[in-house]
């Protein structure tokens, strides 16, 4: 048992967390005369280390996930979802969301396509919620920062929010609140060509390049903010605003996160820095969920597809679910850290 535990710690810290890389960067910076124990030196070390670590993991994960995605084009996903009914369909839609685009703005075109193809509204919303909030990439990246237990629970809770949210929208029968041009669109069922292994590898490589170009600026911003929090903002201030002394920290984190636009890769370095400064786990996870699921640009895009009442219901369900998850993680933090 101890051997397995040691292997798990090694994988988390040295393979996923790349702690060795942090040491190498520290030695290099020290050799050129930069004091890494100072605020400036610590910020530079944090920035370089996290940018390299997240970029390497990002490219590797996108390649693997994109290869898997090549087996689930929209046409096939639609047929898979069409075979299920009731809550089972919501569960399958949420699971499919884990192997689809990495941000909500990329998920919305698929959501529109599924809706216009005649899939039930609740099922498509389960997909829309889970796609940016939980994916295989976020699972591995969260493991590298927070450990396996927190990462797995985060993904499970995210899937529950997606299933419950889609089910509630289904029960409310809000089909008439989808914009007319989508409801009246006729779905075109085009068979995807059979891809060879080489075709899938090329597709995965192209997705790595395309996603990297789109995501890398947010990684730089997220790591930059994380470096500032980690080395310049007093720990007492973070604990006062986002720690146990503020019972409204979760709500504050959610409403701060909503106007932002980033993805899981841009929010993780911020979350890492906040956790090291004493912010509560649930508060941090709520912030991450709000940024990835309820970002203002994605809400604006979704408004083009649905009417205000349905959009309001979607926002309310996600917000309430994320806040409840935050308080739950805060109350049970002792089990995870």
Res 303: pLDDT: 83
Contacts 24+ apart (CB under 8 A), 228-231: 228/43, 229/270, 229/273, 229/274, 229/277, 230/42, 230/43, 230/46, 230/272, 230/273, 230/276, 230/277, 231/39, 231/42, 231/43, 231/46
Which CA distances in Å does 113 have to 75, 124, 268, 308? Answer: 9, 9, 30, 20
Q: Who has greater pLDDT, 52 or 245?
A: 52
- pLDDT tens digits along 5-31: 777 777 777 777 788 998 999 999 999
- Tell me how far apart the alpha carbons of residues 102 and 179 are, in angstroms, rounded to a whole number: 25
- Please say if the pLDDT value at position 188 is more than 50: no
Query: What is the rounded average pLDDT of the residues 68-72?
Result: 77
Res 1: pLDDT: 66
- pLDDT tens digits along 136-181: 766 777 787 778 888 888 888 889 999 999 999 989 988 888 887 7
- The percentage of residues in the chain with a pLDDT greater than 70, rounded to a whole number, is 87
């Amino acid at each position: 048992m101890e051997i397995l535990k040691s292997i798990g710690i090694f994988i988390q810290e040295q393979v996923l967390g790349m702690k060795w890389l942090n040491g190498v960067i520290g030695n290099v910076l020290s050799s050129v005369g930069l004091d890494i124990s100072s605020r400036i030196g610590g910020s530079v070390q944090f920035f370089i280390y996290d940018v390299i670590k997240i970029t390497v993991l990002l490219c590797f994960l996108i390649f693997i996930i994109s290869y898997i995605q090549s087996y689930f084009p929209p046409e096939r996903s639609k047929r898979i979802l069409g075979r299920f009914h009731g809550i089972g369909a919501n569960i399958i839609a949420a699971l499919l969301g884990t192997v689809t685009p990495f941000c909500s703005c990329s998920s919305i075109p698929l959501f529109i396509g599924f809706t216009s193809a005649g899939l039930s509204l609740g099922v498509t919303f389960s997909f829309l919620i889970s796609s940016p909030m939980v994916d295989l990439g976020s699972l591995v990246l969260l493991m590298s920062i927070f450990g396996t237990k927190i990462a797995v629970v985060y993904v499970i809770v995210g899937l529950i929010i997606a299933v419950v949210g889609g089910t509630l929208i289904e029960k409310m029968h809000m089909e008439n609140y989808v914009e007319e041009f989508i409801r009246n669109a006729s779905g075109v069922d085009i068979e995807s060509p059979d891809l060879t292994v080489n075709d899938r590898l090329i597709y995965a490589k192209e997705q790595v390049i395309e996603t990297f170009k789109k995501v890398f600026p947010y990684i730089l911003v997220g790591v930059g903010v994380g470096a500032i929090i980690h080395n310049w903002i007093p720990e007492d201030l973070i604990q006062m605003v986002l720690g146990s002394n503020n019972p409204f920290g979760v709500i504050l984190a959610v409403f701060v996160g909503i106007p932002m636009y980033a993805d899981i890769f841009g929010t993780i370095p911020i979350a890492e820095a906040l956790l090291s400064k004493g912010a509560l786990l649930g508060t941090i996870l709520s912030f991450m969920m709000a940024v990835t699921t309820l970002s203002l640009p994605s809400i604006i895009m979704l408004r083009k597809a649905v009417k205000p009442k349905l959009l309001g219901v979607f926002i309310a369900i996600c917000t309430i679910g994320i806040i409840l998850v935050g308080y739950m993680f805060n109350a049970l933090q002792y089990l995870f850290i």
